[in-house]
Amino acid sequence: MEGVLRERAQDLVKTILKAAGYEVECADEPFDLSGVSDDDGIVVLISDNPDVIDRFDTRKFRLKREDGVQECRKVLVTFTGARAPNCTVWGEEEIARYAGEAAVAGIFGRRIALDSGPVAQPAGAVPRPGVGKGIAILHLPVQISEKNASIISGKRGSVRCRFVPYWCYHCTSTGSQTVVNHRVSFEADRWGGLNAINGTTMDMKVSEAVDTGMPENCEVLTPKIRKEDAEAQVVAAMVENLTQRVRIKREEGDTIYYQEETLKPDRKNITAELTLIYVPVWEIEARDKIVEVNAYTGEILTMPMDEGVEVF
Q: Each residue of 241-274: pLDDT tens digit?
A: 999 888 777 777 777 777 777 888 998 999 999 9
Residue 238 has pLDDT above 70, yes or no: yes
Q: How many CB atoms lie within 10 A of CB 47?
A: 23
Torsion of CA 79, 84, 85, 90, to 10 degrees: -30
Roughly what angle, to the nearest 10 degrees, separates helices 92-108 and 3-19? 50
Residue 55's pLDDT is 87
Q: What is the mean pLDDT of the chain?
A: 83
Q: Which of 266, 102, 275, 136 is nearest to 214 (CA)?
A: 136
pLDDT in tens, 283-295: 998 887 889 999 9
The CATH number that domain 3-108 falls under is 3.40.1350
Residue 127 has pLDDT above 80, yes or no: no
pLDDT band at 116 (very low <50, low <70, confident <90, very high): low
Sign of CA dihedral 13, 18, 19, 20: positive
Residue 170's pLDDT is 95
pTM of the shown model: 0.54
The phi and psi torsions of 42 (rounded to 5 degrees) equal: -145, 145
Asked if 75 and 22 count as a contact pair (C-beta separation under 8 A), the reply is no
Going from N- to C-terminal start, the domains of the chain cover 3-108, 136-301
